[in-house]
Every structure is written in C-alpha cells, then in structure tokens.
Structure 1
C-alpha cells in the first residue's frame, strides 16, 4: 500500500538536515482507534535522483471512500495543510480504500525535478531538525476520522557526534592525570585547583546526560546533545561486552530483550506526546488478555519491548538512551556498572605501575632520588584516596542505574549487584564524610581551625582529601549535601520513569536548591572555582526549566517546545565549549611555570601553612625540624584513623628530623603530656623568604583567622621545669636552645 506522492512531497520538504538524505523510520498511530496501522515503515528520499524508497508493513481495515487531511510541522509550526482526494489524483487502492495487509516488499516513488528542487536547502544543513507530517484518513461521506498517521523525519546530520564524546572525555582525563603528576611533584595547591575543575566539569557532563535519561519527551536536538555525554555515566557500547551481558543475564535467570533483532520487521518509536493515546489502547487491549499473558506483557513493557496498537515498539527515558546507543535495554544496567568497576580496577593498576616505574627510575638514576618521594612512600594511602575519588565521580551513575534496576528486575543476580553497589558506594562515601567531619571537629577543638589536621596530617590528606580539598576549610561539610543531591536526583530518574512531570518538577526544586546553596555559601576554595561551579549550577537550573516546558504542563503551542529545544542545545553547547577551553588553558599553563603554586593565591584558611610543600621546604631546610615537631610525625597520627599501617607508610614520605632535634627526654609522664600539648599548637611554617601570602613564624598576624595567633609555646625555662633540662652534650652540639634555631637566631652567640 502506497502513500500518496502529494502527501510525501511536502512532508520531505521540511525535513531535517543530513548528508543529502531525508529519512523516516516509523509511521506512528496518533489516535485510539485507527483503521490503518504500520508496524514497519522506512522511507528514504535521495535528492540526487529525486527518488523515495519505501519499505512498509501495514494493515488496513478501512473499506470506503476516504480523503487525506495532511498537515506538515517544523518545530511545532504548521507550514502545510492540504486535503487530498485520492480519487481525483488517481491513486490505485485508495479509491475506494480496500482492507488487507501489505508485504515487506520495498518499492519506490520518483518525484519530478521541480518537486525535488522545491525542498529547502536548510533541510540538508541544519542538524536534528524537528519536522513531522500528520495525516488523517477521513471518511468522505461522514467526515469521521478513520485513522491517524504521523511520521517524523531525520537525517544523517546530528549533534550526536563521536568527536564530541571523545573530546569531552579526553579533557577530563587529561586534567585528572595532570593533577596527579603535579601533586606528585609537590605542587599541592595547583594540583587541587586542576582536580577541582576536572571533577566539576565531569559533574556538569553527567547533569546533561541525566536530562536525556528522564521520561520527558525531548525535541530531537536535545535528545542528540544529551546523548553526547552518556559516556560520563558508563553508557558505552562495545560489541563483545554486549554479548557477554546477554549471556550473563540468561545464565542468571533473566530474559534479555531482542529489540535490535526485530528491526527488520518492526519500527521503533521514540516516545512522543501524540503516541500516548495509541499506547493507552495497547494497555487496554492487554487488560482483556489472560493474567499470565498480561504479566509477561507488563514485564516486556518495562524493558521497552511491548508493542503499541500499531505493532511498533515504543521507547522512552532510559530506554530511549539505550536505543540511541544501540544497547539492549536489559543490558544497560550491566553496561554502566561494568564501566564503573573497570574505572576502579584500571586506576588501581595504573597507580601500582606508576609506583613500580618510579622505583625503577630512581634506582637506575633516571630521576632524582627525592622525585615523587611522597608518592613512592605513601602510595597505598594515595591509591585509596584516588579510588574514593573515582567512587565519588561515579556515584551519580551508580544511584540512578541501581534504582532503575529495582523497577526492571532483569535477573536475580543483577538485582543483587544493584543492591550491593548502592550500599557499597553510599556506605563508603558516607563513612568517609563522617571521618572528615570528626577530624575537623577535633581540629577545631584543639587548634581553633579545621584546616590544621585536615591539611597537616599526610594520611588524612591523601586518603580523605578528595572530599574537602575543593572547598574552603570551614566548608568541609559541603560534601554531605552534595551526596544527598546525587542520591535524590538518582532516585527520581530511576524510579519515576513513567512520570515525566514529577521528574521535571523535582529537577527544578533540586537544581534551585543547589544553585541557592552554591551562591549563598560559596563553599569552594577561591573565587574562580566558586564562579566556575555557580555557572554550572545556573545552567543546570535553566535546563530543569526547559525540561518542565517539554512536559507541556503549561499547554503551550508546539512551536514553543521546538524553539526551547534549540535554545537548550545552544546554551549547553556554548557553556560546554567555554568550560572546556577554561579547563584546558588552566591545566596547560601550569606546565609552563617554574612554580605552579604561584599562579594561585594562598587560601584564607591557611591550608598552605599546614601542608608539606616540596618547593617551600627546599628553600628553608632549617625549618624541617620545627615543622616535623609541629606535625607530630614521629608520634601517633593526628587524625582519627585506626589504619596504622597506612599511616606509617604515609608518614615516611616526610623528611626525618635531624638527631639534633630529637625530643628531650622526659622525666615523668606528666611532663611528656605537657610537652606534647604545647607543641601541638605550633603551626607548620612556610619559607621566610616567601611571596607575602599566608602566615609565617615571623609574621604570625598575617592571614585571616591564623592559628599562629594563638600559639602557646613554652619558653626553654618552662619546658625544663616539666621535662628536665637538655643534656650538656646536647646544648654544646647545638650552641643554643632547640627552640632558638633558624632565622632570627643564627646570629646569637
């Protein structure tokens, strides 16, 4: 059965841009009771030879004279409305229309050169144009609608490009790798800024991907753009992996979907608002069937495998993303979780290989003996910190995929995996957050600032620093609302796939809360990072507003949705480009500076005064002993961890104190406790010949809220009262009291 040429022509005239090819892959029913259904519809128009190739499987129950009421839309704007009488144009089989089925045999329609030239060139250039044609088949006697058909046209030009995906992924990976290298060289301040930019950029990519995962109907441009960032939550197709996932699901009692094996005979409809009546008809038809069949149909419906009344498959939300990625919906959960595990395993292997290479390079004299010394001595703790960071970055994907699997129940084994990974990631990050809060509270009680223990203890910094380094010291708690933000967002995406309006409203409330918190608290470590993250929060909030508009809750004209879809694409494309350029430049500039830390101001929380910096210590070796005493490296750790093995390995990365600075022997335990209590309030120092930023031992008043203002250092006389005077040999060796060494005391006789 052929569609009238006069209907097909204007339909293709507004189509989306492509490689000089215009195509429609589904003919959708747009009313509850339709006398004409097409389960397979594939139409391709080639302007080079003005030929329309048609492949269709359809059935008709109409047996009377009809007229075609055709309308064409571009971005919701009706550009065409024409009533066609098939008897007047001599269409065989339509005058009158005869019941029956069509075969899957392809046929073609040749248009006149004038008709092909009438198609606007914009249709071949603009990516992801939103164009469709709707045809009502009406009775010529009563005027009643006997059938309604709708076809959407696409082309090969799209913003869903592999180059965009690789560029975004490589920039994030390059920034994270650069941060690790710079940190290993001892430039902690620069490394923390680069890592914070990379994590924020990856979080923005995930937010865009989540827009595409919602159950809301999205315009073609928004669908294609959000598909560019699905890699950030692990939705990546690899053929041999997909075969393994299908086998695993069968082996564990599941029933894999076979959507892509059916494309030769059926069409797949990406859900649109006009399809919902037909979808409801399929539900009502299923309700009249036996209970066993209904249970099986419901299970398939959740997996995106149920047919609507026309015999086509319908995909929406997460299933829509899986279909565009050419992944079976039943394999999507395993795909995301497998790449999360691969990221953890790959990171552990790379860190171990880097440790082995550094040791070999130092042994072979390829690098200096003190190069990467912190990493080489404390690599186990550093690895734990990196794995925690990867877990934090993958937490949004884990939550939404786990909650979605709870609604799918693809197999018992996959349900167990979903429960395990959700508990593991939430528990691990919750435990880490609680440890940071406990350590910060202890630091405040002992040193009047949370920054002291958080940044002076190498074990705490390497293991838990990923949670608080991007923020100022007083905002150490901000990771808790951040985790809650990801958890709640994942719940709405995974559990509310059938309610797009609820998801859109929830997104507005969640993103508004995140924007207000970021703007009011400004928790990040400096102004640039605050501006970076607030800009991302603003764009995410605007995306949530666009998502609510797409639900048609306001009853706006379809033209509004089309325009807003293009606006969302352009807004996020420009924002992504700006953020990528900023991240690339800020990372690249660091490698061209002799002192990368000098590019950034010291934070007002005085963290640089407490952190061990290879650059600063090399300029003031005489301060090593005082810094070691202040940090307490040869005693118990400062933090609250019980992992003594890791702590001892981490502390080896710090330079040992010279024997001349050994702790004086104590006469009583009370004297020992008094000595520890007094030295615990001595802040680690920066080089005296610095750049003027931060505090120094000779300038205790510099910096806001400097803990050095509250030093309570006992004099040598007072110290001797508790712990006994130093031995004569000790004094003769050092020529002065150990508390009177360094700058300002060297001239004393």
Structure 2
C-alpha cells in the first residue's frame, strides 16, 4: 500500500506538471479538477474521488483521492494534453526509466490518502497568459496506461482523463439576477401601463417581455438536452435556468427531500457526498455510457455497502450512471447538479417555484386592490385612477394567473414528462400527472374559448378584433393568449403551444439519445423559423422582427447541438470552437434584447403620451379598446352596449352596475 501511494504520488506529480501547460489563471492562478474519469471499458485504474488543486503562486498541489488499481504488469504512460479539442502536447513515459516506484511494474491495491506535492516554480512560466483568464476553458489531460509485458502486452489496460478548470466561468449570479429583474420589471410595467389606461403601450411592452422570457427559456432548454456540451455552453445555459423555475433555496430542498422519502422514494445524495464521491459532468459520447454499467457492477465489490445500495437504487431508475463509484450526470441531471440541487428534487423544485410565484402574485394583486380603494376613499388619488382594475380586478387576476401558467408551460411540461422516466416517488409521479393535465387542459381549453369568441365576432361583425378587444372581460381574462398577435392571427397561440409540446417530448424522453434529440430539435426550430418568417403573426413590424430574430438564434443553436453530437465526425477542435461561438452569439443576442427592452420601456414611462409612441394596429383594436368607465356609468347602459354589439351573456361577460358617489 505504501509503495502504491508513493508511486501514485509520483504519477500525479507528472500529471499535474503537464496539466500546468494548459491551466488557466485568474487573479489567483490555479488549476482544479474534481474527477479522474475512466475513459475506456475495463479500465484497471479508477478513482471514485479525485479532487486536485494546483496553485502556481504557492508551487503546490493539494490532492484528495480514493482510487483502486487492479494492474500488475510493466506499463508505460501515453499522455496527451488538449485544449478545445486541439491536441498540442503528447509524450510517452516509461516509469522504469524515471524510476517511479510501484509502477515498474505496477501493483494492485487501494489508495485513500490525501496529500500535497511541491512543483517546480519554472512550470508556471510555461502557462499561456490567456489560459488563466478565459472563462470555462475546455482543457483536459488523457493518460493511457499501456501494458508492455504479460498477457496484456501491447494493449491499454487503463485510461484516465481529467477535465481542468481555472475557476473562471460565465455562470454568474449577476447575469441571473439582471436577466430575471429586467424580464420581471417589463411584465410589471406592462401591467401598470394597462392599469393607467395606456393599452397600446402596455400591449407592446408585454409582447416584448413575453418574447424575451421565451428566449431565456429556450437558452435554458439547450442546457437540458442529453448531448455532451462544451463547458462554456453548460455554464452559459445555467444562467437562465431560473426561467424554468430551477432555483435552489436551501430550506425548500430539505422539505422536498423529506417529502420524497416520506412518500416512498429514495432521495439522491450526490450533493451531500461530494466530499467522498466524484461526479463527472458528461462530455463523452453516448456509446461510453453502456460500458460504465459493467464497470459499476465490478465496482460494487469495493464500494462501501451503504454507497453501493444507494447507487444501485439510482441505477435501477436510470437516474445516474456510475463508473467505479463515481457518478456521471448528463442532460437534465447535469443542470440539477450544477445548480446544487439533488436530481430527485428537480421536478418538485421547478413546480413549486412557479406556483409560489402565482401565490405571491395573487397576494400582491389583492393588496394593491385594497390599497387603491383605501387611497381613493382618502382622496389620495383621483376617483377614476385604476378604475378598470378596481372594478374588474378578479377577472384581471385570472388573466395574470393564466399568463404565469403560459410562462411556466414549457418547464412544467418538460419536467412532468421527465418525472415519468425517473419515478422519484409514487406521490411525485401523481403530481406530474396532475400538473401536466392541469396546464395542458387549462391552456388548450382557453385557446378553444378564444377561437369560439373570435369566430363569433367574425360571424357577427366580420372582424375578430371586435369582441376580442371591445369586451373588457374577454380582454382581461383571455388577452394573454392573443394580444401579442395581430387580430387575424389570434389562433397562433395554438401553434405556439404545439411547438412547446413537441420540444418538451424530445427533451424529456430522448435524454439517452442525443443524436435523435438534436435532429428533432433542428427540425422543430426550422419549422418555427419558417412559420414565423412567412406568417409574421405578431402585432407589428418591430415585434415580428424581435421574435423572428429569436427564432433564428434558436435555429442556429439547434445546428450547434447537432454538431456537438459529432454526427459529422468533425475534429474535436471544431466542436470546441463551435461551443465558444454559441456562447458569444447568445451573449450578444441577450445583451441586445435586454438593452432594447430596457430602453423602450424607460422611454414609455418618461413620455407624456405612451400610446402615441407606437403606431396603432391596422386591425382597429385600439378603436375597440374603450375603457369600461367611459362606456357607461350604470348597468343598464352596459347591457345596452352589449346588445348593440350583438353579444350574449356566457362569454365571460358579467354585467356589474357601476355606481359613482
């Protein structure tokens, strides 16, 4: 054991010296890796735990490792170093020439001994300066241990791979907060403008805010795919997982874990056991996942019994792939791990996040209604301020809750479908069935109601906009479905929902088939781009351009995902470069869209006539959008107006006399 420990330290010293050639550096130059991964089937040297940090300024390497060797033969090490798929350094090391004790020949045994090593200071000068500052650098060292004697002579008996990081990343809390705050304020601004009677400006702001939120969700969905993604893509897409309700709140995670266990499930403990188990974030091809299953079976004999039972239960669910005690996470699991959320808590986390938002929204709306009434009675505000909201706040609240349901439609659908493949507990599967039916039946039923109302308006008035925009009850309750589209394209919400359902099915059910997933998403995004470009269904030219640009970027992202599957058998350097291009493209697009919505919303609020800043729609919606307070002051006049429009009760219109004191 002592011999193995000494020889392993020598090997690690060589490994870390070579890694220093590609290590990034920041204010504090460092190299770190959290897993030493087996990269071939039947590898004779594996590590269930490997934490390494190299600090050039201190000339030291701190290592915490738990490994097993089954090799007993003379060997040589074939070492390659690459960055962004470009292999720029390689060498072959004969341990006998370097007098590496324990490796001439290699001996079998266990290693579980943290240690530190000193490194030659001259090594730091070999590191390129840009490598220390570029975020999410994609660098790795691969070592093949080849036997030179015995029955396995001339063959590789082990393969080890370490992905290294410089600690710099684009997964930043500032990006998360900035994007969330801008999208939230835009939605709130549209509500305030609507309450103040500026319906035209409110419609434009709401349309851009919804499009921006949809774009954030599309970027987040890129991170959910079961395709190996470059580190920078993983980090960038992680910035927008909040838009899918994937938000880590400590005490809630404890509640979710308790709930799952109390309903018969087995909670994952990956986050809790990072101090004793390594987790490999998938960057390998799909065929290598299958060999890891056989490796896991052989590893059971050397793993602690409690860990073996836990890993076995996870394997039965297909939740986490295990390689000699170290776990592999990919796709949706990868997102959960990077968010420090146990994979078995992810579904409930997303669901609860959205419905907590709905609950808080309902409370805020109720408090605002009470505050308005109090202010009106105390004459702090004019009697007609927010009058439409005060008279129909229940209907407005229903419309707002429906809008939040629409925003949460994609994540609820994706994760509910995914839960069927995970079966975290019987109660959670039941919740998945309930919420999947709830959002789909609710939104498609609302779409059916919308189509009926629009059809009736066409029959009576030869214009779908008439009832859709003249009836405040219809507009406030169902407007979230159609207000962002031109009146003649009111039906376009149905293709939007269908587009979301298709993406959800492939993201949720094709986690183990990355190529199928990529091709399907490419076809879906191509169809969305063509449809948006040809029909141009949104309310005006600017909103159409805004959405078509988003569809174009989503289509390009889908092409990049197909490239990441290596279906074209391209060199690794192409994959690395494409990952950086995806990040740059989406970062630039996000910045431009954020600036556009910030500037346009700010200008609206500092303009005396917000509605005048936008052209009135050619569908005459503005002429129909009359304030309920201007139409009548009594219930009889309201009824007379309805009769004149040819309307009947039963379409969500309730006659409520308005009495002014």
TM over 0.5: yes
* SS of corresponding position for 1:114: helix
Identify the match of residue 251 of structure 2 among 212, 224, 240. 240
- In structure 1, the residue matched to 2:211 is 200
Distance 2:228 2:644 in 1: 58
* SS of corresponding position for 1:56: strand
* SS of corresponding position for 2:165: strand
- In structure 2, the residue matched to 1:455 is 469
Equivalences for residues 101-140 of structure 1 within 5 A: 101-103=110-112, 105-140=113-148
Tell me if 1:419 matches 2:426.
no
Tell me if 1:229 matches 2:226.
no
- In structure 2, the residue matched to 1:542 is 556
Equivalences for residues 227-306 of structure 1 within 5 A: 227-273=238-284, 276-277=287-288, 279-283=290-294, 286=297, 297=312, 299-300=314-315, 302=317, 304-306=319-321
Question: Contact (CA 8 Å) 1:459, 1:647: kept in 2 or not?
Answer: yes
Structure 1 residue 347, shift from structure 2 partner: 1.2
Distance 2:254 2:646 in 1: 51
Structure 1 residue 235, shift from structure 2 partner: 0.4
Identify the match of residue 20 of structure 2 among 12, 16, 19. 12
Question: Contact (CA 8 Å) 1:234, 1:397: kept in 2 or not?
Answer: yes
* SS of corresponding position for 1:475: helix
Residues 698-732 of structure 1: per-residue CA shift (max 9 Å, x gap):
xxxxxxxxxxxxxxxxxxxxxxxxxxxxxxxxxxx
Identify the match of residue 93 of structure 1 among 95, 102, 112. 102
Residue 144 and residue 369 in structure 1: after superposition, are their counterparts in 2 closer, same or farther (change >3 A)?
same
Distance 2:544 2:651 in 1: 34
Distance 1:647 1:110 in 2: 80
- In structure 2, the residue matched to 1:403 is 417
Structure 1 residue 90, shift from structure 2 partner: 2.4
Question: Contact (CA 8 Å) 1:38, 1:57: kept in 2 or not?
Answer: yes
Residues 46-77 of structure 1: per-residue CA shift (max 9 Å, x gap):
11111111111111111222111100010000
* SS of corresponding position for 2:271: coil
- In structure 1, the residue matched to 2:400 is 386
Tell me if 1:177 matches 2:191.
no
Structure 1 residue 446, shift from structure 2 partner: 1.0
- In structure 2, the residue matched to 1:84 is 93
Equivalences for residues 484-633 of structure 1 within 5 A: 484-613=498-627, 632-633=640-641
Residue 23 and residue 562 in structure 1: after superposition, are their counterparts in 2 closer, same or farther (change >3 A)?
same
Distance 1:315 1:20 in 2: 28
Question: Contact (CA 8 Å) 1:208, 1:229: kept in 2 or not?
Answer: yes
Residue 278 and residue 206 in structure 1: after superposition, are their counterparts in 2 closer, same or farther (change >3 A)?
closer
Residue 573 and residue 295 in structure 1: after superposition, are their counterparts in 2 closer, same or farther (change >3 A)?
closer
Identify the match of residue 372 of structure 1 among 379, 386, 390. 386
Structure 1 residue 591, shift from structure 2 partner: 0.8
Structure 1 residue 346, shift from structure 2 partner: 1.1
Distance 1:97 1:235 in 2: 46
Structure 1 residue 624, shift from structure 2 partner: 7.2
Identify the match of residue 67 of structure 1 among 76, 92, 96. 76
Tell me if 1:43 matches 2:52.
yes
- In structure 1, the residue matched to 2:202 is 191
Distance 2:238 2:107 in 1: 43
Distance 2:357 2:570 in 1: 44
Distance 1:17 1:298 in 2: 40
Structure 1 residue 284, shift from structure 2 partner: 7.5
Distance 1:574 1:494 in 2: 29
Residues 391-440 of structure 1: per-residue CA shift (max 9 Å, x gap):
00100011001000011111111111111111111111111111111111
* SS of corresponding position for 1:603: coil
Deviates more, 1:177-186 or 1:110-119: 110-119
Question: Contact (CA 8 Å) 1:456, 1:631: kept in 2 or not?
Answer: no
Distance 1:318 1:397 in 2: 11
Residue 492 and residue 547 in structure 1: after superposition, are their counterparts in 2 closer, same or farther (change >3 A)?
same
Structure 1 residue 629, shift from structure 2 partner: 7.1
Distance 2:639 2:185 in 1: 33
- In structure 2, the residue matched to 1:708 is none
Distance 1:641 1:510 in 2: 40
Question: Contact (CA 8 Å) 1:31, 1:278: kept in 2 or not?
Answer: no
Tell me if 1:54 matches 2:95.
no
Distance 1:78 1:470 in 2: 50
Deviates more, 1:16-25 or 1:336-345: 16-25
Question: Contact (CA 8 Å) 2:30, 2:55: kept in 1 or not?
Answer: yes
Residue 27 and residue 636 in structure 1: after superposition, are their counterparts in 2 closer, same or farther (change >3 A)?
farther
Residues 154-211 of structure 1: per-residue CA shift (max 9 Å, x gap):
1221000000000000001110111111100000000010011100000000000000
Residue 423 and residue 463 in structure 1: after superposition, are their counterparts in 2 closer, same or farther (change >3 A)?
same
Distance 1:491 1:294 in 2: 31
Tell me if 1:647 matches 2:661.
no
Tell me if 1:362 matches 2:376.
yes
Question: Contact (CA 8 Å) 2:292, 2:322: kept in 1 or not?
Answer: no
Distance 2:199 2:646 in 1: 20
- Asked which structure has the greater CA Rg, the reply is 1
Structure 1 residue 321, shift from structure 2 partner: 0.4
Question: Contact (CA 8 Å) 1:254, 1:410: kept in 2 or not?
Answer: yes
Residue 450 and residue 8 in structure 1: after superposition, are their counterparts in 2 closer, same or farther (change >3 A)?
same
Distance 1:165 1:351 in 2: 26
Deviates more, 1:134-143 or 1:567-576: 134-143
Structure 1 residue 640, shift from structure 2 partner: 6.7
Residue 115 and residue 295 in structure 1: after superposition, are their counterparts in 2 closer, same or farther (change >3 A)?
closer
TM-score normalized by the length of structure 2: 0.93
Structure 1 residue 494, shift from structure 2 partner: 1.1
Identify the match of residue 439 of structure 1 among 453, 462, 478. 453
Structure 1 unaligned residues grouped into runs of 5+: 618-622, 657-749
* SS of corresponding position for 1:225: helix
Residues 196-229 of structure 1: per-residue CA shift (max 9 Å, x gap):
1100000000000000001000000000000000
* SS of corresponding position for 1:39: strand
Residues 291-340 of structure 1: per-residue CA shift (max 9 Å, x gap):
xx9998375354644522x3211101000000000000000000000011
